Amino acid sequence: MLFNQSDLHFIQNTARVYQDMVKDVLDNISQIDKIAIKTNLLALNATIETIHASELLASFENIIGNNLLIQAKILSKILEYDPDFIRQDGVKFAKECGIEEFYVTDEEGKVVFTNRSNKQGTIINTPEIIKVIGDPGAEIVLPSTSSLVDESRYKVVGVGRTDMPGLIQLAVHFIKPKGQEAIDGFGVVANEAKRLSDMSNQVSDKLNLEAKELEKRIDKLKELSDNLSNIEVTKAEIKQISEHINLISQFFNNILYLLMNLTNIARQTSLLGVRASIEAANTINEKLEFDTLLNIHMVIEAKLSAILLESKPNVTSEELTEIADYCRIGEYWITDEKGLVELTNVEGGVGFAFTNEGQTAPYMRILKNPDLVVTQPPAVRDLDGKVYKFAAVGRKDKPGILQIGNPSKLYGENTAQGFQEVAKQIKYLAEQSMSTTNEIVDLIEDMKKNTEKTVDFIVKM
């Protein structure tokens, strides 16, 4: 069979074009591999964000338990210094301080002082709680239990009385943090992102195998076409080339099938990005939630401390230090009517002056309005560079400021921002995967068209 120059050029050119295009296909598959790796890392990052957020929300309960213990211990000290305090109206006392529920018992566990009138005279018989009766150093924090009425949980602590055998029990309802549902949802997003990236990796591996095998077939086609002579071409050579082209066509179909799977994965990843954005939008700002929670409890502690100070006239800083150690108050700063510290458990702190400038300025307003309550979010203080959270109220024994402070930490930006960034990246990687996949599809489709032209050409020979 005689080939002219143009016939020979057509077949050889087809093989050369295939070689160039299959290299582009392999390059693009490599990009998909990289996208899958990034998605996998992103899924890991999302999981870490989720764990971090869950740990923060779980610590809500720990914060409540620790602060209830502080309050119970301050109340114990009040009763120690003023035995008649127990004779007052429990409802009025709890309302004044912001305490939700409290019980003081005698040595038999009988309630003798409470803000729940229907519980006066009843016996506390919770096995774990009554163990602290008779031991002034004992304390117990019970795991929270679900409320039968609403979605809140019930937290209970107990401490032994220091004035006589008996116990002090405090309890509070707290709502499950609003962001937990969104965080749980984001955990699902993280797992799904991992699943999709794994699927993408698997499909990409298969694509690589198919494309590399295709590359071998094309190289073989190039070799066969280069061996053709324009003087004489045998039917066997034409048949061999034709069969090779048909085999290459089958690889095109296999690759297109795998690309269809990749496209579906990219679509699912894109939808996952949308879901991640929604979950991120529903996530709480735990920085604000934590500060709000601490404000509530530290104000109660400051008000109780003001009552404690009133019940123990002429207390010294040494005695105040012992009280702070027992109650686990980090720092007391108690000023006179001018803002000059006259009592504190901080060594060298007596004589420190609150001023109308800097970090102490907000608390100076209490000197003009004793009923004012002032709280500040955790901050690095000018005094020594340590991070503390403060709350302050007016003194009850005389004009002045009673401020309490506890070591804290600077909360980062809210989890929602971390989630939003993950959601943004998920959508971006999905778009990249879709774009790259479409490029491969276009290349394969072009190669298929060239194949069809070559097949038609050979048939007409």
Per run of 10 residues, the mean pLDDT along the chain (length 461 residues) is: 59 75 80 77 67 63 90 96 94 96 96 95 92 91 77 87 95 71 70 80 83 81 71 68 78 81 83 75 64 90 97 94 95 96 95 92 96 92 84 96 86 61 77 82 78 63 57
pLDDT at 385: 81
pLDDT at 188: 77
pLDDT at 403: 98
Contact 177, 60 (CB under 8 A): yes
pLDDT at 309: 96
Closest CA to 147 of 126, 117, 176, 170: 176
pTM of the model: 0.65
Residue 160: HSE in the Cβ half-sphere, 13 Å Cα cutoff: 13
Phi and psi at residue 178, to the nearest 5°: -60, -30
Contact 182, 282 (CB under 8 A): yes
Residue-wise burial string across 401-413, b where 16 or more C-beta atoms lie within 10 A, e elsewhere: bbbbbbebeebee
Three-state DSSP class for residue 376: strand
pLDDT at 49: 64
Angstrom distance (rounded) from CA 71 to CA 69:
5
- Give the residue carrying structure tokens 């937290």: 155
Written as six digits, the tokens of 425 are: 């990246």
pLDDT at 124: 94
Question: Does CATH number 3.30.590.10 belong to domain 286-413?
Answer: no
pLDDT at 283: 61
Angstrom distance (rounded) from CA 415 to CA 452:
55
Q: Where are the alpha helices (DSSP H) in 316-414?
A: 317-327, 361-364
pLDDT at 290: 75
